[in-house]
Amino acid sequence: MNHILIAPVILPAVMGALIILWMRADLLLQRVFSISGTALLLAVALYLNWLASSGEVLVYRLGNWAAPFGIVLMLDRLSALMVALTAALAFAVQLYAFGSGWDRKGWHFHALWQFQLMGVCGAFLTGDAFNLFVFFEILLIASYGLMIHGGGPMRLRAGVQYIAYNLAGSTLFLAALGVLYAVTGTLNMADMAARVAMMPAEDTALLRTGAVLLMLVFAIKASLVPLHFWLPSTYANAPGPVSALFAVMTKVGVYAILRFYTLVFPQDTVIEGVVMDLLLPAALFTLVIGQVGILGTRNLGRLAAFAAIGSIGTLMIAVSQFTPQATTAAIYYIIHSTLAGAALFLVVDMIGARRGDLWLRLDGVMPGNGLISALFFATAIAVVGMPPFSGFIGKLLVLDATRNAPEAVWIWTTVILTSLVAIYGMSRAGSLVFWKSYEFQDVPVPVLAPAPAKPGPIPTKLEPDEHIQDLADAASPALAAAAVGLLLAGIVALTIFAGPVTRFAAATAEQLHNPSIYLDAVLERQEGTK
Amino acid sequence: MELLLSSAIGMLTAAGTYLILRRRSFAVVLGTTMLSYAINLFLFSTGRLVVNQPPIIESGVTSYTDPIPQALVLTAIVISFGMTAVTVMMALGAFLEGGDDRVDMPRADRQPETSRIDAGDDHP
Give the sign of the dihedral formed by CA A327, CA A331, CA A336, CA A342.
Answer: positive
- How does residue A460 score in pLDDT terms, banded at 50, 70 and 90? very low
Helix (H) or strand (E) holding A344: helix A324-355
Average pLDDT of chain A, as a whole number: 89
Query: What confidence tens digit (pLDDT) does each residue in A16-26 have?
Result: 999 999 888 88
Q: Which residues contact A485 (CB under 8 A, 6 or more apart)?
A: A375
Interchain CB contact of A293 with B (< 8 Å)? no
- The predicted structure's pLDDT at residue A458: 45
Chain B hits for A432, CB-CB cut-off 8 Å, are 119, 122
Confidence of residue A179 (pLDDT cuts 50, 70, 90): very high
Between CA B21 and CA A204 the distance in angstroms is: 32
Q: How far is B45 from chain A (nearest CA, A)?
A: 9
pLDDT surpassing 90 at residue A272: no
Lowest-pLDDT range of A107-116, A214-223, A468-477, B80-89: A468-477
CB A225 within 8 A of CB A289: yes
| CA distance to partner chain B, nearest, from residue A43 (Å) | 32
Measured CA distances, A186 to A192, A201, A228 (Å): 6, 19, 31
Q: Evaluate the omega torsion of the peptide bond into residue A226 and state whether it is cis, within 30 degrees of 0.
A: yes
CA distance A433 to A365: 8
- Cα A6 from chain centroid? 21
pLDDT (tens digit per residue) in A52-107? 998 889 999 998 888 888 899 999 999 999 999 999 999 999 999 999 888 888 88
pLDDT band at A486 (very low <50, low <70, confident <90, very high): very high
CA-based nearest distance A239→chain B, Å:
15
Contact B118 A130 (CB under 8 A): no
3-state secondary structure of B51: coil
- pLDDT for the residue B122: 41
Determine the length of chain A: 530
Which stretches of A319-399 are assigned E, i.e. beta strand?
A: none
Distance (Å, whole) CA A134 – CA A279: 25
Please state, in angstroms and rounded to a whole number, the distance separating the CA atoms of residues A109 and A102.
9
| HSE (side-chain half, CA atoms, 13 Å) at A499 | 1
pLDDT of residue A450: 58
CB contacts, 8 Å: B123 with chain A: none
pLDDT of residue A270: 58
Name the nearest CA neighbour of A9 among A71, A101, A92. Answer: A71
Which is more confidently placed, A293 or A437? A293
Q: Do A455 and B99 touch (CB under 8 A)?
A: yes
| Cα of A334 vs its chain's centroid, Å | 9
pLDDT at A126 over 70: yes
Output the average pLDDT for chain B. Answer: 85
pLDDT at A483 over 90: yes
Of A406, A199, A445, A211, whose CA–CA distance to A321 is shortest? Answer: A406
The domains of chain B, with CATH numbers, are 2-50+67-102 (1.10.287)
Residue A259's pLDDT is 93
Question: What tens digit of pLDDT does each residue of A332-374 get?
Answer: 999 999 999 999 999 999 998 888 888 888 888 888 888 999 9
User: What ipTM did this prediction achieve?
Assistant: 0.89
pLDDT of residue A446: 58
Tell which wins on pLDDT, A286 or A364: A286
Distance in angstroms (rounded) separating the CA atoms of residues B63 and B68: 15
Nearest to A313 by CA among A218, A222, A429: A222
Asked whether residue A39 carries a pLDDT value surpassing 90, the answer given is yes
Q: Which residue of B has its CA nearest to A298?
A: B111
Complete DSSP assignment for A7-46:
HHHHHHHHHHHHHHHH-TT-HHHHHHHHHHHHHHHHHHHH
pLDDT more than 70, % of chain A: 92
What integer pLDDT is reported at residue A461 of this predicted model?
42
Report pLDDT digits (tens) over A42-55: 999 999 999 999 88
With a cut of 90, say whether residue B105 has pLDDT above it: no
CB contact (8 A) between residue A237 and residue B109: yes
Residue A102 has what DSSP assignment? G
Note the maximum CA span of chain B.
Answer: 91
For residue range A389-446, what is the model confidence (pLDDT) as tens digits?
999 999 999 999 999 888 899 999 999 999 999 999 999 999 999 888 888 776 655 5
Residue A508 near residue A258 (C-beta atoms within 8 A):
no
Q: What is the pLDDT of residues B63-85, one digit of tens each?
A: 888 888 988 999 889 988 888 99
B111 vs A47 pLDDT, higher one: A47
Specify the pLDDT at position A467. 47
Q: Among B39, B97, B107, B121, which would you mutate to test the A interface (most chain A Cβ atoms within 10 Å of its Cβ)?
A: B97
Q: A115 or A153, which is more confident?
A: A115
For residue A462, what pLDDT is reported? 43
pLDDT of A452 over the 70 cut: no
Q: Do A164 and B87 touch (CB under 8 A)?
A: yes
Could you tell me if A49 and A302 are in contact, meaning their C-beta atoms sit under 8 angstroms apart? Answer: no
pLDDT of res. A301: 93
What is the reported pLDDT for A96?
94
Mutate to test the interface with A, among B18, B88, B109 (most CBs of A within 10 A): B109
For residues A476 and A374, give the distance between their C-alpha atoms in angstroms, rounded to a whole number.
Answer: 19
Residue among A157, A174, A359 minimizing CB distance to B105: A157
Closest Cα partner for A270 from A202, A181, A179?
A202
Which DSSP string corresponds to B46-108? TT---SS--SS--TT------HHHHHHHHHHHHHHHHHHHHHHHHHHHHHHHHSS-BSSPPGG
Identify the band that residue A138 occupies on the pLDDT scale cut at 50, 70 and 90: very high
pLDDT of residue A199: 84
> What type of residue sits at position A228?
H
pLDDT at A456 over 50: no
